[in-house]
Structure 1
């Protein structure tokens, strides 16, 4: 069955429709034939078959190439004796064009002459058929030796082979992208370098939207003298470029710490690494670095445009969770304004836990009606607009942390991340990272928990 006149061509300015057709859907065939009688014969042959065809026609290769930019074609049926191309040149020109399309159509040669003069030599039909297939054709047919059923079968088989090849290519590309993603994820989820078994490190990473990659990074390293360094950072933006930059920044930070650079010099040197590595001048990085003395009694906190961590002291039912002041916060790395980064000195009472995070967590939207014991509500005296979404904020995150800590620290990171996702009602807009570093005290006899979680927003939202 044939729909569309043999002369039907593209409509000027039309867009090729995007479609994913079942096997029994009509095929869009572009016949490239300058002879009216032969074009009519092809239409009649296909009309007598069970194959449903939407037939278009072009008289020259140039006209066919113009049609391909406007019409989504499943298969081309090309003659080898055209006004602007004779012999294999027709196949080569069309094949070169179709391979550049997102979904390359099949290419079947249908010629009326068993012998075609090409490059001055007379080639047999069989030899020319082999050469045509080698040049990019999927099949080679002679007009006088093919009936309607054979023609329809050739068109369908060629189309199915092309679709199968396209699916295999898409699968291969997907596997390559997955492998690249895995390598970047390993760089974003590093193995902490800590000798002190009493230190616990729990990390979690939640890419924003439904993506797999983002620019948040974190790491924890203990120097030879016992000084504990931990960092969490956020590259502005979201995507593979930001993820690669985040991995580079984390590697630079670890290198600086392990090389013995003074803690006051780490952030300035990190900025020197950032400036040539970033792809655009507007890209910046926020960062929080905490340095704990070997006796675990004091912490120096460095903030570069980053939210301050939460500090939990005490254990069991007597713990206390506080928001550390951001009064000493400096500018983000990469922002071209004067400023330095000074340490905020904090005395630590054991046991203690520092909870570092990126702003993707506190920027989650929470409906007013969900505010309860686990999420701090608006300040006293301010009216609460019913059901109006609001930002979770640091106070809201602190409320979630306090609620989850009542059930202990085991699995605290995934529990906090899931709770934020539940309150937000789905995948977060921005990437979110959570780093929980704890010290159980000098008398602790159990090894600190070491876990890492790479979450998928889409999967978790369906859980």
Structure 2
């Protein structure tokens, strides 16, 4: 309203994006901040005569009003500007500052005796949704002001939530690009299939992976996992992945990369309890062997061909070093593993092996143990899933493995899961190998 009490917005449909019925469908919760008992009684009477169903709360001071706002969800706050503990726009500023910090902020309508020119504009500039002058409003005008102010505030809150959602989506896309990079591998005979399955809330966590072919022809692969789950862990995972690629591209010796990554981690992490597990694999240029570096991470799997189909084994002879960021002694030494003519190495994060098995292969519910706990998939279970899916062919094998693990779990996994399959085929006439990158979508799978 303007200072004279006119309400140019009362009939302005352009300002109200939602078509309102004559009567609100719900009871409005109204907080009246007014120290004068007669004026408070008049406001209550005006709303009652206008047919407004209102759950009225009363405060005589700003401090009392702020305490009520912390305990009661209010749709609209009617504020007098002449109160015992605050006068003029100072009262409005205190209320608006508090309201803006609430999860569901109410509309703020000033109801005061000040009809000075420009007072309404100043109040709106400070943060009021409307400005009414006592003695110049009847019940219908007051009711319309409350309804419209409440709906305008709700619309603004929805628009803010939409904007924040769009910002989060854009940030997620940036994290996806950082966590799911395009591999730098020139050798077309190297197959590289990667996938990421977010945990239960659908947001990316701190799992990361990468692959780079060095100038000498050797292939370096990494899979890592930041302890915890959330945007901070995702950002740290992206930073660790970028640090790893930078070190590889700069020609750093593989044995020096993990100590340097720990030096990157320590000042970047949010607290001393945050650590990173990591598996780094270096495949020689002739593809006949690989060096495995472990930092508290699950051992990789090796898939080889047999007359009976793919055989998937765990590299149990690889040494295991401590996780990055753990305050303990120890270093990270390479374990040399001989490779056959054709092979596939499988790197993964623990979100896969920690999955619970709630149903068996034919869909029957799994029986919990004596303590009521469901069995975990474990490394043996993952080996069986990978071998079974590779037996059906390599096309889309990563999403098939992720989907199968999720099905056995009975729904979204509790933790993120990253999976990387890198392979070499000794048949030089096989043509370009398969390259895929998948951000699996549990929500879409739920609707399938």
Same fold (TM over 0.5): yes
Task: Give the Cα separation in 2 of the matches to 1:326 and 1:360.
Answer: 23
Match of 2:264? 273
> Structure 2 regions of 5+ residues with no counterpart?
1-22
Contact 2:369 2:375 in 1 (8 A): no
Task: Give the Cα separation in 2 of the matches to 1:305 and 1:96.
Answer: 48
What is the DSSP-based 3-state SS (H/G/I as helix, E as strand, rest coil) of the residue aligned with 2:293?
strand
Match of 1:117? none
Contact 1:29 1:54 in 2 (8 A): yes
Alignment of 1:402-441 (within 5 A): 402-441=387-426
Q: Alignment length, in residue pairs?
A: 423
Structure 1 residues 37 and 387: alpha-carbon distance in aligned structure 2, compared to 1, 3 A threshold = closer
* Structure 1 residue 287 corresponds to structure 2 residue 278: yes
Alignment of 1:281-360 (within 5 A): 281-314=272-305, 318-360=309-351
Q: CA deviation at 1:328?
A: 1.6
Task: Give the Cα separation in 1 of the matches to 2:125 and 2:248.
Answer: 59
What is the DSSP-based 3-state SS (H/G/I as helix, E as strand, rest coil) of the residue aligned with 1:161?
helix
Q: Tell me the TM-score normalized by structure 1.
A: 0.85
Match of 2:99? 98
- The CA RMSD over aligned residues, in Å, is 2.4
Contact 1:205 1:454 in 2 (8 A): yes
Task: Give the Cα separation in 2 of the matches to 1:384 and 1:157.
Answer: 59
What is the DSSP-based 3-state SS (H/G/I as helix, E as strand, rest coil) of the residue aligned with 1:390?
coil
> Structure 1 regions of 5+ residues with no counterpart?
1-21, 115-123, 378-382
Task: Give the Cα separation in 1 of the matches to 2:307 and 2:170.
Answer: 43
Match of 2:360? 370
Task: Give the Cα separation in 2 of the matches to 1:323 and 1:147.
Answer: 80
Contact 1:421 1:461 in 2 (8 A): no
Contact 1:315 1:351 in 2 (8 A): no
Structure 1 residues 189 and 57: alpha-carbon distance in aligned structure 2, compared to 1, 3 A threshold = same
Alignment of 1:5-404 (within 5 A): 24-112=25-113, 114=115, 124=116, 126-314=117-305, 318-367=309-358, 370=360, 389-404=374-389
Contact 1:210 1:458 in 2 (8 A): no
Structure 1 residues 271 and 133: alpha-carbon distance in aligned structure 2, compared to 1, 3 A threshold = closer
Contact 2:310 2:391 in 1 (8 A): no
Task: Give the Cα separation in 2 of the matches to 1:388 and 1:251.
Answer: 39
Q: Tell me the TM-score normalized by structure 2.
A: 0.88
Contact 2:302 2:344 in 1 (8 A): yes
Contact 2:292 2:318 in 1 (8 A): no
